[in-house]
Amino acid sequence: MIRVLIILGLMTSFSGLCHGQQENLINPSALFKIKAAKVLVVGTFHFEYPNLDAVKTDSLDQIDILSNQKQAELKELIEYIKLFKPNKIGVESFGNPNCTERLRSFRNGNYTLTRDERDQLGVRIAHELNLDTIYALDAYPIYSELNNVIPDFIDSLSTDFDYAHAEIDSIYKDFFSYDGALEKSIELLDYFMYMNSKAYHKYMKGYYYLGDFKNSKYSGADMTTIHYFSRNLRILRRIQDIVENENDRILVIFGNSHASALRDFITDCPTLDYIEFSELSNIEDR
């Protein structure tokens, strides 16, 4: 009995020691003294509605960004984004169109802005902030390169893989139905607040974990890796490439499926400071 009590006493002491040590642990963030460049990712829908993405917008739910009403709303959205005070702007482009050339031609009165969000947001914000460059930040995924080297293997992965599936239709039906109607029924700033929220991005990225992601044993997961995730990680690398110092404030304008992935990648990167779209009114506190 005495032996049992001694053992129990030792165990209690050890437990108390461990608990005391845990209370004195340093938060990992305190161990990083890096001053990170700020990055604001603005996820958007494509104003021209090319409907090339997995999620398409019905013609009845499309808006005319050039209408007087939407131009007034766009001005409010732009003024809000400008609170971030970016010194660099990057957009979803591989270099064609060349948005820097568009910016300079627009500034000289030789270019009329199109419906394209790269014009309506990227060029307009760069012009109003007197910036002279718009960076093309899009990147092709490694899928394209692997397809040139091992085409038969890549072909086996891509069989029946098109980001469309009955499982996704079933699970996301209400979400996409509500989103489509909302896009047309509320003002742009309110809609951008909604679509750039953490909750929205969670389900936007979750779309890629269903349906064809489950193809075969691992083929769907591998295909998603070398396509969706590879492209977005390469976009992250391009963002890193334009960072010069911790004082940079980089505005990134991309389709919202990319923004949902970039949220996590940028948040996880110690040298970048992800800025929440909803918190721009308090940006000076960062």
Q: Mean pLDDT across the stretch 207-230?
A: 95
Compute the distance between CA of residue 269 and CA of residue 236 in angstroms, rounded to an integer: 9
**Worst-scoring range by mean pLDDT, 27-31, 129-133, 209-213?**
27-31
Please tell me the distance from the alpha carbon of residue 88 to that of residue 250, in angstroms, as a whole number: 5
Cα 136–Cα 142–Cα 147 angle in degrees, nearest 5: 125
Convert the pLDDT of each residue in 131-160 to its tens digit.
999 999 999 999 999 999 999 999 999 998
**Structural contact between residues 212 and 225, judged by C-beta atoms closer than 8 angstroms:** no
CA 55 to chain centre: 16
269 phi/psi in degrees, rounded to 5? -85, 120
- What pLDDT score was predicted for residue 283? 78
Q: Who contacts 138 (Cβ-Cβ below 8 Å, separation ≥6)?
A: 91, 92, 93, 94, 231, 235, 238, 254
- Cβ atoms of 280 and 83 closer than 8 Å: yes
Dump pLDDT digits (tens) for 252-267. Answer: 999 999 999 999 999 9
Of the candidates 215, 273, 223, 217, the residue with the CA atom closest to the CA atom of residue 243: 273
**Where in the chain are the domains?**
2-27, 37-285
Structure confidence at residue 57 (pLDDT): 66
Percent of the chain with pLDDT over 70: 88
- Give the pLDDT score at 285: 59
Pairwise CA distance, residues 18 & 23, whole Å: 9
Quote the longest CA-to-CA distance of the chain: 94
Q: What is the pLDDT of residue 58?
A: 66
